[in-house]
Amino acid sequence: EAGVAQSPRYKIIEKRQSVAFWCNPISGHATLYWYQQILGQGPKLLIQFQNNGVVDDSQLPKDRFSAERLKGVDSTLKIQPAKLEDSAVYLCASSLGQSTGELFFGEGSRLTVL
């Protein structure tokens, strides 16, 4: 079974530029998550989708971050304009969407903002 796919793996941009990350979850997984992991910290949830709909985006900085999940499958996370403090690994995860259960993570997209 294919795992969660993410791209790009690495991205370096200047502050105030924009960047987009793509995620393809495991087939059949209804729930998709974007986490931000700053070096030395645990993952922090940015946004959670259940199929096409947003379940939780309370910690998403909406003035600069946006995310969408078209057709309930792939998802894109965009940052515009980027700030230095956005340097982090952006992890995408998916789950079956049942009550509490395993999250399957991709390898992450490492963003460096200069």
Partner 1 sequence: GENVEQHPSTLSVQEGDSAVIKCTYSDSASNYFPWYKQELGKGPQLIIDIRSNVGEKKDQRIAVTLNKTAKHFSLHITETQPEDSAVYFCAAQKKTSYDKVIFGPGTSLSVIP
CA-based nearest residue to 96, from 50, 39, 41, 62: 50
Is position 27 an interface residue for partner 1 (rule: CB under 8 A)?
A: no
Nearer residue to partner 1 within complex by CB, 75 or 95 = 95
- Joined together, the tokens standing for residue 41 give 């910290």
45 interacts with partner 1 by CB under 8 A: yes
Q: CA-CA distances (angstroms) from residue 24 to 41, 86, 88, 105, 108?
A: 24, 22, 20, 11, 12
Q: For partner 1, which stretch binds (CB under 8 A), given 19-27, 64-72, 76-84, 100-108?
A: 100-108
Using CB under 8 A as the binding criterion, the count of chain residues that bind partner 1 stands at: 27
- Can you read off the two tokens belonging to residue 81? 């304009």
Which residues are near partner 1 by CB under 8 A? 4, 31, 33, 40-45, 48, 50, 55-56, 91, 93, 95, 97-103, 105-108
